Every structure is written in C-alpha cells, then in structure tokens.
Chain A
Amino acid sequence: MPLLEATGISKIFGKLTALDGAGLTVGENEFHGLIGPNGSGKSTLMKCVAGAEVPTTGKVSFVNTDITAYTPTERARAGMSLKFQITSVLPTLTLYDNILLALQAQSSLLDLVFSRTRRALHDQVMTMLTQFRLADRAHDAAANLSHGQQQWLEIAMALAGKPRLLLLDEPTGGMSLEERRVTGELLQPIKQHCSLVIVEHDLDFIRDICDRLTVLDQGKVLACGTVAEIQANKSVQEIYLRRA
C-alpha cells in the first residue's frame, strides 16, 4: 500500500476550477516531484494534501487512514509535515527556539510549563542545527539569516517531529545555485526514514533528487512515472519541458 494516496481531488474557488480530479500517490521512502506550468494546481494539490485547503471533492488517505477531514494538527500528529512556500520561520525567536518550538509540539502541558522539554530535547535541537549547518548561529534571531538559511531552518523545523511524509513547497525558491546544491545534499539523508513530495520550478533540482514525478496541467494529472518516463513523455515535453 502506498504511504499517501490522494484520489479524485477537485478544488473549486468560485468560478475557478483549480483542481479537476487530480491525484497523487507516494510510496514509503520515495522522493516524489510535483511539477507543472504556472497555474496547473501544484500548490493547491499540496495544500489539499496538507490540510491547508479542504478539497471540494476527493479523498486523501495516509498510512491507510482516510484523513480528508483531518485538521492540520491531526495530520501533523499522524506523521505528515509541511514546509510552506513563503518562509514562515518565527523571525524574532532564536534558531534554537525555532527548532525547539517544532520539536516540543506534542509534549504534555506540564512538560512545557516546567520547561522539561528544554533539557530533554537539547541534544536533538543541536543535532538538527548541525545537520542543517546552522549550529554556529543557534542563538541568533532567525530574522538575521539569509533567505537560503531560513529555508534550511524551515526544512529542519518541518523535519523535527520525525514525519513519515514531508511536503516541501518550492524549497529552493530564491536560492543561489550553491544553496540549491547544498539543499539537495541536506535532503538526501532523510530518505532513510521519510518520504518527500516536492513542488518545485527548478527541473534540474527535481531531476537530481526525485524518484518519481507527477505532472499537472490545468488541474489534472497529465503524467505520472519515473523521471526517465516523464522525460520521454511527449505530451509533457509539449506542455512543460520545452517551455522550461
């Protein structure tokens, strides 16, 4: 059984049909790219999967459970995590506190009030900061990071709860070439314990990192397969790759 299975997802905003029966299937430990031209419904599909939008029709299953009606909190507790397209680290907090905030999300009220989480989770905080090359700035405010570093911090925060599925909406947006390369390196190790869905415009990045791709066009799935299959698909080349 796949880890995530979204089927027949439609989303209608007033007169605009953003998604029209789209679907997405992701297996265990799979890196899955979601691509398509602007306005094809990639971000909307991602939001429907993450719980930020409620689909008009369709069903989302995660670990064999129907989660279509789950709130974002319930989805996070079921093992799903999202990195927003717009960086949403908490700018006034230190990097340390940003990571700890994410790590302690499911702690008990008493552990929070008596600050037991700070001691218990310290090693995990530092491990995550080290893994994302941010340990030397642990006590700097997040607002002081470069855009690329904020994206890394955000990915680290999204991974803090040890999700089984991580949804990344444009993780390399606004990054330099070097930062994109490093982002790819940072994401590789998580494959051992986590699946990934990436919405991304940078096709080189997608080709390097993903196992399978889903191509959306006008709210529908145009093609789905391995990177090689998608690259060989003529209709995809027609509508997307040539434009890119």
Chain B
Amino acid sequence: MVAAKQAVAELSEGPDVVTGESAPAAKLPAGRATAGRKVLPIVEGLVLLIALVLPLVLQDYLTVFATRVVILALFALSFDLVWGYAGIMSFGQALFFGSAGYGVALLARDLNVTSIFLILPAGTLIGLTAALLLGGFLLLGRHPSSVIFVSLGTLTGSYAADRLARGWYYLGGQNGIPSIPSLTLGSTEISEGPVYYYMALGILVVVYLLCRFLVRSQFGLGLAGLRENEQRIAFFGYKAQHLKAIVFAVGGAIAGLAGSLYAFHEGFVWPNMLGVVFSTQVVLYVLFGGSGTLIGAVIGTVIVEGVSFWLSDNYRDVWPIILGVLLLLVIMFRPLGLISLVLGERERVGRFGKAPKETRNAAP
C-alpha cells in the first residue's frame, strides 16, 4: 500500500498527460504482466507441506510446541483479517481469545463438557459474541470511529478483562483455572501430541481457506476499498462501519476458536490469555510476517515463536533483547513484513473472483 501511494504521488507530480504514460519507476505491473508468476500458492503449498511432515521428524516435546504455534497462527489469522483486511487496529484481540479460553475451561470444570463438538462451537460463539458487543460499541457509531478510538477501546477492553479475571475468585484469580481435562471425541481423549497437532492443523487449514474465500470475494473487494480509502467508499454508498463490524465479529469468532483449542492444549487458562501481552504478541506475529496476506500471519507466528524458542534456549538472559532488535529491523526495513521478500504488490492486493473471459482477453 505504501509503495502504491508513493506511485500515485509520483504520478501526480509529473505525468505526461498527452501520452498517458508516467515514469517507469511509478508503475505498478499490469495485470497480464504478472499473470504467469504466482508466488502465493507456492508459498502456501510449501508451508502446508512442511506443517504436514513436521510431527514425523520432530521429537514429542517439539510437536507439543508446534501445536501451540499452529493454534497461535489461527489466532494471528483473526488479527490479520481485522487489521490487514479491514484496517481495524485491534489491540485487544486477546479479549476474544481469552474469553473463549475461560468460557470453555468453565464448561469443562463446572459442567464436565469436554466433547470437541460442543467445546469448539462454544468457544467460537463466545469469541463472536464478545466481538459483536465490543465491535458494536466501538465501530457502529453514526460517523466513522477514529483509529485511536478503536485501538484504545480494544486495548482497554483487553486490559479490563485481564484485571477482572485476576481479581475474580470464581475464575481462579491470578492462577487462572488449572487442570482442564482433555478434549474428547466420543470416548477418545485428544491429548497433546501428534493427534492434537493434526487436529489443530486441520482446523487452521479449513479456517484459512474460508478466510481466503472471503477476502478474494467481492466482499473482499469492498474491504480493499475500505482499507485504502474509507471515506471514498462511504461516498459510493457502502455502509463502511457495517463492513468493519462484520469482519471484527468474524475475527472474534476465529480468535475464540483458537482460544478454546489453546485452553485444552495447555490444560489451563490464566489472565494473560485475555490481556495486553497476548494482544500485542499477535500484532507482532502479523506485522513480522506481513499483514493483509493471511499466509504472512502464519509465517510470522512460526518465525517469532520459533526464534523466541531457540533464543530462549541458547541465550537465556538476553534473548528478549535480541528478539526485540530483530522485530525492529524487520519493521524498519520490511514494513510490509517478511512475505514482501517474495510477494509482489500486485499479488498481495490480489484478485477478487474470476474475471469473465472477454475482459481477460481485453487486458493489454
């Protein structure tokens, strides 16, 4: 987006209005020029392939770690949808993740509900409801909400939930809710290890494909307009705030699904899951990998978590500093995230549905 804005700025400075041409440096590639070079499906395929074989080559304790990363990647997808596609700076995404985590933990503790068919829909529903309530308040005013209002509003929601959980005895206070039993599928327990990993991966793939379908639909085209110029599309007659609220709610539902998977995988929930720590962590995953690409969110999560794991093992005292410097470097030199190393601007923006044949033929 930055590159495109720069391109437009250059165009408006001195285009040749007679020939209709502008400086080559300001040009975005034409549709057909990049039609043959599709990097995104290759990257997605590679990530999936690696993810599929991982438990076969990893030791058990690392498979547990990889499962955690897969669940966090699902959480990152929810933030990418909200920020990368709808331009809503949610600094409180953990509110939905943690609410669902606590909700399903209570279901398991107090009602002995552990069936996957009840727990995952319940977690999704909790995330959806929380996002609808907060999104309705923050986004559905008569006039568009400012970025500051939304980011502070979400941050406050997340922080308040964290404090509430810490002080509420019923929710276990500072210690959270420990000893959540395993998820069950019929009479089978799904405990941590390869089975949980493949289940989480399967869910991640399905949600990823659904998100991909959504952002590549004409609804996604509306979101692209929203992200680039919210005021402009309001003047077309779009109910921009409604579009935002819908994406925010979908994001909340996905975060809720991730939160319920996380709670049962870890076996306990604690206040951090609701608070600022997880909320900012997911922002970093997405910025690091590259927002507005979906796969960038997944790659960002894998790399940030992987590097943290490795650094904390090898540089016990200074690893957070090294990680911080690495993140800063990426944000300084690759503001569009690591995915921009291989993905061009045109493909990042992408296409929305299939163009009818005659117009494809009409492309220059």
Contacts and interface: CB of A to CB of B under 8 A. Distances in A.
Contacts of B29: 141
B26 interface: yes
Interface size class of A (residues with CB under 8 A): 35 or more
Given A76-B235, A76-B236, A136-B362, A113 B26 contact: no
Interface residues of B, number: 59
A52 to B, nearest CB: 8
Contacts of A91: 4-5, 7-8, 28, 228
Contact of A140 (B143, B217, B364): B364
B84 to A, nearest CB: 14
B320 interface: no
Contacts of B143: 71
Interface string B175-219: 000000000000000000000000000000000000000100111
Interface in A87-134: 87-88, 90-94, 96-97, 100-102, 104-107, 109, 111-119, 122, 126
B17 A147 contact: yes
Contacts of B31: 94, 139-141
A92 B15 CA distance: 17
B353 A115 contact: yes
B237 A174 contact: no
Interface stretch (A175-183, A199-207, A220-228, A229-237): A175-183
A196 to B, nearest CB: 16
A119 B356 contact: yes
A135 interface: yes
A221 B316 CA distance: 74
Contacts of B30: 139-141, 144
B362 A135 contact: yes
B22 interface: yes
A111 B238 CA distance: 14
A179 B18 CA distance: 8
A194 to B, nearest CB: 15
B225 interface: yes
B92 to A, nearest CB: 25
Which of the listed residues A87, A92, A135, A149 has the most CB atoms from chain B within 10 Å of its own CB? Answer: A92
A143 B237 contact: no
Interface stretch (A2-10, A31-39, A77-85, A211-219): A77-85
B239 A92 contact: no
B236 A122 contact: no
Contacts of A102: 236
Contact of A141 (B17, B225, B346): B346
B345 interface: yes
A147 B232 contact: no
A148 interface: yes
Nearest to B358: A126
Nearest to B214: A113
B217 A146 contact: no
Contacts of B360: 139
A72 interface: yes
B232 A138 contact: no
B107 to A, nearest CB: 31
Contact of B22 (A112, A144, A176): A144
Contacts of A100: 218, 221, 352
Contacts of B352: 97, 100, 115, 118
Contacts of B358: 126
Contacts of B20: 145-146, 148-149
Contacts of B356: 118-119, 122
A87 to B, nearest CB: 7
Given A88-B232, A101-B225, 16 more contacts: A73-B239, A76-B236, A90-B229, A92-B345, A97-B221, A97-B224, A101-B221, A118-B356, A139-B360, A139-B363, A139-B364, A141-B29, A141-B346, A143-B7, A143-B8, A149-B20
Interface of A: 50, 52, 71-73, 76-77, 81-82, 84, 87-88, 90-94, 96-97, 100-102, 104-107, 109, 111-119, 122, 126, 135-141, 143-150, 157, 160-161, 174-176, 178-179
6 contacts: A93-B225, A96-B359, A104-B218, A146-B11, A148-B17, A161-B236
Question: What are the nearest 3 A-B pairs in CB distance?
Answer: A139-B31, A76-B237, A139-B363
